[in-house]
Amino acid sequence: QNISGEHGLDGSGVYHGTSDLQLERINVYFNEASGQKYVPRAVLVDPEPGTMDAVRAGPFGELFRPDNFVFGQSGAGNNWAKGHYTEG
């Protein structure tokens, strides 16, 4: 949210800024899609789907591309070994 706000982007990735400086290095964090919409250069990874659902349901959920969410069907239950050896 902070980085989007600093670059003048709303929750859907559309630029509503007031200064050209906001767009100067926007390509460090965002890729420009069609229609002046900006998409974060991020891949969200978690072994359980609950955290990804929370991001999608949040105020910036539609900002991310759906294919940049990578998650499993069951979590590791805060057990590092299970996440590393069986789920990961």
Residues 2 and 18 in one domain: yes
Residues 50 and 29 in one domain: no
pTM greater than the 0.75 cutoff: no
Q: What tens digit of pLDDT does each residue of 10-47 get?
A: 999 999 989 989 999 999 999 999 888 999 999 998 88
Total domains in the fold of the chain: 2
Residues 20 and 52 in one domain: no
Residues 15 and 55 in one domain: no
The two tokens of residue 46 are: 């978690």
What domain range is 35 assigned to? 1-41
Residues 28 and 51 in one domain: no
Residues 62 and 84 in one domain: yes
Residues 86 and 59 in one domain: yes
Burial of 63 (0-12, 13-18, 19+ CB in 10 A): buried
Asked if residue 74 has pLDDT above 80, the reply is no
Q: What tens digit of pLDDT does each residue of 42-55 get?
A: 999 888 888 889 99
Positive or negative torsion for Cα 83, 73, 57, 8: positive
